[in-house]
Amino acid sequence: MITLYGSPRTSAGRCVWALEEAGVAYNIKELDMRAKEHKSAEYLKINPNGKVPAMIDGDLTLFESMAINFYIAEAYKKDLLGSNLQERGLVHQWSFWAIAELQAPLIEVFIQKVFTPEEKQDAKVIELNLNELPNLFNILNSALNERKYLVGNQFTLADLNTASVASISKAIGFDLAPYSNMTSWMKVISERPAYQKYMTLRAPQR
Ligand SMILES: N[C@@H](CCC(=O)N[C@@H](CS)C(=O)NCC(=O)O)C(=O)O
């Protein structure tokens, strides 16, 4: 049984979604981040970065959400990797693009708007990073022109990893309506049962 460390409301969420897509048994160990459990000596042995997610499967311990998702696909649902070498290259391209290019400005704005008290927010940081988003979303929107999925004819990790990053835009109130290919794509993938299960797990527990 796989153990995933981290709440589905954090970067661990994209791994929860991948585990659901793969249909593999797992349990989630949420860490109390306010109590700094992610910085405890015990957890630092699992992820020395003191961040979530991390995953244990048998004698393998992994950190980095994208690496975890590629492992889950490789081990349990190869369809998610693309169906030939070219597609696998593109699945990697979009996943690396999402985490390196798209997530960087989104997270900068997220940190300011969600984690920083209003009086301490840095308007310049917000503006600089918001200004980067239209170009990035235009790139994604163009890639989705007349396409249901980013790579090939089926849902892959390219969709999962990229959509999980793009969805941070909601939390910062960035309007995706002008990017109509993207919004149609997000609608299609949000209807997937695995995505819906992930959303249920993300919802605040009563
Ligand atoms: N590149 C890492 C980023 C992980 C990350 O930043 N996780 C955040 C939660 S979303 C975290 O654990 N932050 C705690 C901290 O930075 O101390 C990944 O994708 O796994």
The CATH fold of domain 2-79:
Glutaredoxin (3.40.30)
- Would you state the pLDDT for residue 84? 97
pLDDT in tens, 155-189: 999 999 999 999 999 999 999 999 999 999 999 99
Number of other residues whose CB lies within 10 A of the CB of residue 50 = 16
pLDDT in tens, 128-148: 999 999 999 999 999 999 999
- Would you state the pLDDT for residue 203? 87
pLDDT in tens, 29-75: 999 999 999 999 999 999 999 999 999 999 999 999 999 999 999 99
21 pocket-lining for ligand 1 (C-beta < 6 Å)? no
CA-to-CA distance for 126 and 105, rounded, in angstroms? 9
Q: Which of 4, 37, 52 to mutate to test the pocket of ligand 1 (most atoms within 8 A of CB)?
A: 52
Mean pLDDT of 105-113: 97
Mean pLDDT of 95-116: 97
Residue 99 CA: nearest ligand 1 atom is: 19
- Would you state the pLDDT for residue 13? 97
How are beta strands 26-29 and 54-57 bridged, if at all?
Answer: unpaired
pTM of the full predicted structure?
A: 0.96
Minimum CA distance residue for ligand 1 atom 9:
10
- Ligand 1 centroid from CA 86, angstroms: 30
CATH of 82-192, one of 1.20.1050.10, 2.40.50.140, 3.10.580.10, 3.40.50.620: 1.20.1050.10
Domain spans of the chain? 2-79, 82-192
CA-to-CA distance for 171 and 185, rounded, in angstroms? 19
- Would you state the pLDDT for residue 78? 98
51 pocket-lining for ligand 1 (C-beta < 6 Å)? yes
What are 5's strand-pairing partners?
29, 54
- Ligand 1 centroid from CA 186, angstroms: 24
CA-to-CA distance for 69 and 77, rounded, in angstroms? 10
61 pocket-lining for ligand 1 (C-beta < 6 Å)? no
95 pocket-lining for ligand 1 (C-beta < 6 Å)? no
Of 147, 162, 60, nearest in space to 102 by CA? 162
DSSP-based three-state secondary structure for 68:
helix
Of 134, 113, 124, 122, nearest in space to 179 by CA? 134
Mean pLDDT of 17-24: 98
- Would you state the pLDDT for residue 206? 59
Residue 39 CA: nearest ligand 1 atom is: 17
Res 96 pLDDT > 90? yes
